[in-house]
Amino acid sequence: MTPYRSRLRAWTVAFLAAVALPAALLGPPTSASAANTLTMLGADVSSVQRSLDLGARYYDAAGTARDPLDILKGVGVNYVRLRVWNNPASGWNNKAKVLAYAKTVKAKGLKLMIDFHYSDTWADPGKQYKPAAWANHGIGQLQTDVYNYTYDVCTSLRDQGTTPDSVQIGNEINVGMLWNDGKVVNNDFTNLSLLLKAGYQATKQCNGGTQVIIHTANADSMDHARWFYDGIRAKGVQWDLTALSYYCMWHGTLANLYNVITDVRTRYGKPVVLTETAYPFTAANADNEANAINGTEPCAGHQASWTGQATEFSWVQDTARNAGAVGVFYWEPTWYAVPGNGWDPANINGTGNQWDNMAVFNWTGQVNPSIRWRP
């Protein structure tokens, strides 16, 4: 995920450059299936360390100030996702910061997912910028770069007693990563497959039990998901978990989500997890940075309110569970409007927060009293 308003448009342009596909498939309404359990009840809290350092306070439903991880754990979270950027201008979400916060995560008894962007800044379907240090590297050197960087971060976490339970090799890599060398053009997955194999091998060399995740934002249609995962499978890429992003305003109905999860789960024989989802609790804006999602056009009739947010999140979990998925992660539930924690790592103090209406904590740090993560 990245809080850019042009995200959907950029992804569409990038995808059409790779291959022309028919419109997203829409399926029938979701139907309850045999009871399944969501074992990965997650939250991506990558921004929270910066917020806390700036003095942010977090309050539970009773109004008591507490550590945000304790509050989230109290409403069902058992897994934390942290993004890592190679050399961000602000320093935030670099290896050192992730290592430091991983200790807090593990001390709380929570599992840990590391989300490798392989960039100095946001990577998503519309952009996959190489880190500056790798800017002039071709595909051969990039394979070594991905292997070495992945192995270094993973082993550093392992050696301090915070071995990651799972890692993502790339973030929302709908048409590849480390562009342009790792971009899928004319349906050619060769270079991307080489990079994914390097990341997989590095992770397993670090710790054989760490699950490798391949993550796209292809919850919008089975055609898009099949194009991507068929493409990498045909090149011999291995992975352990198939991950999707789902935002109803971009990816369609819950019925469609159900169909996509069911299809990729059965087609590839791997557990499926939604590593990103979110919903607005207000249409208002807390700062001078326009919101990524304005909240004025709610999905499934859910208003942008505490109740609407909690209901939509509950329905997403129900849909994932009924489709046989194993987990759902809320993206950046703790990122409320704290001055100095802006969206742009190159200007973190001078930019605002495009996600302040999407967090599960309001602008003074009170948690949504109705939000729950449920097995």
C-alpha closest to that of 305 among 280, 286, 333 = 280
Structure-token pair, residue 129: 């910028």
DSSP for 76-142? T--EEEEEE-SS-TT-TTSHHHHHHHHHHHHHTT-EEEEEE--SSS--BTTB-PPPGGGTT--HHHH
For 71-106, b/e burial (b = at least 16 CB within 10 A) is bbbebbbbbbbbbbbbebebebbbbebbbebbebbb
Known catalytic residue: 276?
Answer: yes
CA 216 to chain centre: 9
CA atoms of 330 and 108, how far apart (whole Å): 18
Task: Please report, for residues 85, 98, 131, 142, 181, the alpha-carbon distance to residue 177 in angstroms, rounded to integers and kept in the order given.
Answer: 14, 21, 11, 11, 8
Catalytic residue among 276, 289, 312, 332: 276
Task: Please report, for residues 33, 235, 309, the alpha-carbon distance to residue 314 in angstroms, rounded to integers and kept in the order given.
Answer: 16, 37, 9
CA atoms of 76 and 89, how far apart (whole Å): 34
Known catalytic residue: 312?
Answer: no
Q: Please, is 65 exposed, middle or buried when counting C-beta atoms within 10 Å of its C-beta (0-12, 13-18, 19+)? A: exposed
CA atoms of 330 and 278, how far apart (whole Å): 6
Which distant-in-sequence residues (6+ apart) come within 8 Å of 197 by Cβ? 143, 236, 237, 238
Catalytic residues: 172, 276
